[in-house]
């Protein structure tokens, strides 16, 4: 699995307007959800708060104020489980302090660490009341009731269809205004069995939601003010959902259908596997104005020997040929990738092959990591494990190259006029932060009532991680239907 990592974050409060919560108003319970890992976990955490809202829970960002704490965990990186146990140790102290004043606190562990560790979590951390795998969170209300009765709950069964059906049912409920950009899970699981990855064991086989389920949720989002949707999946371009007529749709066809939804002006998807990038999806990049010119397409290594050891089932030349086809369809596309350095058996020449691939591709951004042994994966027991100091040195060299490429790509945007989706207020008064078509943060001075609109912006300066822009004069800055068209030579 090759999802982009995020910083640990708390979910924002969710809103449910389908009826009064079970708890009386003014007596709502508080739920604190801490999210680790990929965007799919962010999506799952938001759905957890949606599931709990009718039960009388509202989201809080204050751990000390929480009646229920859920850690939505990720098992991809090194020592993931130990980080969870360390966090549970801190939560135990908060729970004890609350108990002194007569306040209860329930604690749950969800996500991939929950799936991988199961009963071990309850054994090592007795404060945990329930353990919930990533395919079972739709059962949270019933599981919480069991926990309140004093039962230790561990639910890690794979029933992804039941979860998808539950999400589809939720899509029928009206919601209040949402943020301008949102995630939407369309596919879960992985059949690739890369030798470094635990996802096939924690998320299961590749399963896709139906076209109808996805369209309904996307329409619901658009009616609530969402202008941009990012489709999520462990291998999102392996999407193979069933349509109403029984036909199987790929991701390209699904994107074309979503592009027809009124108000949904931007589409993205992540994370992709090179083996699943078919002709129809590539053509969608040429045909759909709403499909943003950004593609996260991890390769992991530039060495054929290491790619084979990783069980990636493609070569570096396969990757180059694929990128040629993508860039022919979408010349302005920004490419992102993932890299693992120090995989077992990686020599200096193997590492140089990776550096050569990066130089040839010229990425707009990328994510890179030292290889870490994940228990239960074939890579963990391979011979020729690379020493830690060697991995660290190689990672520093690779990240320096990626940083130079990202700075060069950002600098190439200077002077361009592009459409920017304005999403939130900035740190400074009168400042808004938006997103370029290439997924770069853009800061500019603008009125707060423009949040949620797409505006034509000239990029006037470049920061270390952000672009700085100014609104183009003459456009209707009170019209949230879109931005004035940029010159054809500069349009994003």
**pLDDT given for residue 13 in this prediction:** 38
As a whole number of angstroms, the distance between CA 41 and CA 18 comes to 24
Q: What SS3 class is residue 466?
A: coil
**pLDDT given for residue 119 in this prediction:** 83
159: pLDDT confidence band, cut at 50, 70 and 90?
low
**pLDDT given for residue 68 in this prediction:** 93
164: pLDDT confidence band, cut at 50, 70 and 90?
low
491: pLDDT confidence band, cut at 50, 70 and 90?
very low
- Say yes or no to pLDDT of 325 above 70: yes
**pLDDT given for residue 167 in this prediction:** 57
Give 222-261 pLDDT, tens digit per residue. Answer: 999 999 999 999 899 999 999 999 999 999 999 999 999 9
27: pLDDT confidence band, cut at 50, 70 and 90?
low
As a whole number of angstroms, the distance between CA 222 and CA 23 comes to 29
- Say yes or no to pLDDT of 19 above 50: no
The reply to whether 112 sits in an annotated binding site is yes
Nearest alpha carbon to residue 172 among 45, 50, 24? 50
- Say yes or no to pLDDT of 197 above 80: yes
- Say yes or no to pLDDT of 317 above 90: yes
Distance set, CA 262 to CA 48, 219, 258, 265 (Å): 27, 8, 9, 8
Distance set, CA 323 to CA 303, 327, 363, 434 (Å): 17, 6, 11, 28
- Say yes or no to pLDDT of 487 above 50: no
Q: Which domains does the chain have, with CATH numbers?
A: 6-157 (3.40.50.12160), 160-289 (3.30.750.210), 293-412 (3.30.750.200), 414-492 (2.40.50.140)
- Structure pTM? 0.75
Higher pLDDT, 113 or 59: 59
Taking a C-beta distance cutoff of 8 angstroms, is the pair 263, 240 a contact? Answer: no
The reply to whether 418 sits in an annotated binding site is no
Give 94-153 pLDDT, tens digit per residue. Answer: 999 999 989 999 998 988 777 777 788 888 888 999 988 877 777 888 888 888 888 878
**pLDDT given for residue 382 in this prediction:** 95
Which residue is it, tokens 């489980």? 81
Share of the chain above pLDDT 90, in %: 61
As a whole number of angstroms, the distance between CA 297 and CA 214 comes to 23
Q: Is the dihedral of CA 209, 154, 145, 75 positive or negative?
A: negative
Look over the chain and give the mean of its residue pLDDT values, rounded to a whole number. Answer: 86
DSSP string over 27-92: --EEEEEEEEESHHHHHHHHHHHHHHGGGTEEE-S-GGG-SEEEEEE--SSTTHHHHHHHHHHHHH
Token pair belonging to 211: 């076209």
Give 84-96 pLDDT, tens digit per residue. Answer: 888 899 999 999 9
**pLDDT given for residue 9 in this prediction:** 42
Give 409-447 pLDDT, tens digit per residue. Answer: 999 999 999 999 999 999 999 999 999 999 999 999 999
């Amino acid at each position: 699995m090759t999802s982009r990592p995020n910083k640990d974050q708390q979910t924002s409060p969710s809103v449910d307007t389908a009826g009064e919560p079970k708890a009386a108003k003014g007596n709502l319970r508080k739920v604190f959800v801490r999210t680790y890992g990929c965007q799919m976990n962010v999506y799952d955490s938001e759905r957890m708060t949606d599931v709990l809202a009718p039960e009388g829970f509202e989201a809080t960002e204050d751990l000390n104020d929480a009646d229920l704490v859920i850690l939505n965990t990720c098992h991809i990186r090194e020592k993931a489980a130990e980080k969870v146990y360390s966090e549970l140790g801190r939560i135990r102290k908060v729970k004890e302090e609350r108990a002194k004043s007569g306040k209860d606190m329930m604690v749950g562990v969800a996500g991939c660490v929950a799936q991988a560790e199961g009963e071990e979590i309850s054994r090592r951390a007795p404060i945990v009341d329930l353990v919930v795998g990533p395919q079972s969170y739709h059962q949270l209300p019933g599981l919480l009731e069991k926990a309140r009765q004093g039962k230790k709950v561990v639910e890690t069964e794979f029933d992804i269809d039941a979860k998808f059906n539950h999400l589809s049912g939720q899509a029928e409920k009206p919601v209040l205004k949402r943020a301008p950009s949102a995630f939407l899970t369309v596919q879960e699981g992985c059949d690739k069995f890369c030798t470094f990855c635990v996802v096939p064991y924690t998320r299961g086989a590749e399963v896709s939601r139906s076209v109808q389920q996805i369209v309904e949720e996307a329409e619901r989002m658009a009616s609530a003010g969402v202008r941009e949707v990012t489709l999520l999946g462990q291998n999102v371009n392996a999407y193979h959902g069933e349509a109403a007529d029984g036909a199987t749709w790929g991701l390209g066809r699904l994107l074309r259908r979503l592009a027809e939804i009124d108000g949904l002006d931007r589409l993205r998807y992540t994370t992709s596997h090179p083996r699943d990038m078919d002709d129809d999806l590539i053509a969608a990049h040429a045909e759909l104005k709403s499909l943003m010119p950004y593609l996260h397409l991890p390769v992991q290594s530039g060495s054929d020997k290491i790619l084979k050891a990783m069980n990636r089932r493609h070569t570096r030349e396969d990757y180059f040929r694929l990128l040629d086809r993508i860039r022919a369809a979408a010349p302005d596309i920004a490419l992102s990738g993932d890299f693992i350095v120090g995989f077992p058996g990686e020599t200096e020449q193997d590492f140089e092959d990776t550096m050569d691939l990066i130089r040839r591709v010229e990425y707009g951004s990328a994510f890179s990591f030292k290889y870490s042994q994940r228990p239960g994966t074939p890579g963990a027991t391979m011979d020729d494990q690379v020493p830690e100091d060697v991995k660290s040195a190689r990672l520093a060299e690779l990240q320096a190259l990626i940083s130079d490429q990202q700075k060069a790509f950002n600098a190439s945007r200077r002077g361009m006029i592009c459409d920017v989706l304005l999403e939130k207020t900035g740190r400074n008064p009168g400042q808004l932060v938006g997103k370029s078509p290439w997924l770069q943060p853009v800061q500019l001075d603008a009125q707060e009532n423009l949040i949620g609109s797409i505006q034509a912006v000239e990029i006037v300066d470049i920061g270390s991680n952000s672009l700085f822009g100014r609104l183009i004069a003459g456009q209707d800055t009170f019209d949230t239907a879109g931005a004035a068209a940029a010159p054809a030579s500069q349009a994003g």
